Amino acid sequence: MKHIEIRFGDSIEKHSAEEKSFEEMFQSVNPMFCFSKRIWKPQMDIFETRNEIIIQAEIAGVKKEDIVIEVSNKAIKISGHRKTNHPDRTATYRLAEIQFGQFERVLYLPSVIDVEKVTAKYANGFLELYLGKLSRENIKSRHNVSIDFA
């Protein structure tokens, strides 16, 4: 069974607006500007129930082994790589909306999670993470873990 690597710790990197590169500033103006080098951000939903936080990420075409999930007490970082799927390199693009290459997304968690209750599922291009909430009196230390997909 294939695994997605999930790391627990306090060192999730964050990028501020001042750190945006020249290329990132112009990607909304021209999607082909530095098309292959920019880091893209997949669309995600985050919601919570009484007992857990659920995150859904739309990352069709990404292999499970190309996904890395890092969890800290404050945030979750989902990153990875989607390989280019261009049938003919000599073709002229008329529309280029599908993003390839490195992706990364950092989401700040609304509650502290229980690292013993973290599961992931990846099907039909959607990654779903289920993060069990931790009560304030049961806060535990974080550690590295691999999670099997259902």
Report pLDDT digits (tens) over 15-37: 444 445 555 555 555 544 445 56
CA distances from 143 to 5, 25, 36, 133 (A): 12, 36, 34, 16
How far apart (Å, rounded) are the C-alpha atoms in residues 33 and 35? 5
Q: Is 2 a residue whose pLDDT tops 60?
A: yes
pLDDT at 82: 93
Centre a 10 Å sphere on the Cβ of residue 146 and count the other Cβ atoms it contains.
10
When the pLDDT of each residue in the chain is averaged and rounded to a whole number, the result is 78
| Amino acid at position 109, single letter | L
| Mean pLDDT in residue range 59-85 | 90
Residue 57 binned pLDDT confidence (cut-offs 50, 70, 90): very high
How far apart (Å, rounded) are the C-alpha atoms in residues 97 and 136? 43
Q: Is 132 a residue whose pLDDT tops 50?
A: yes
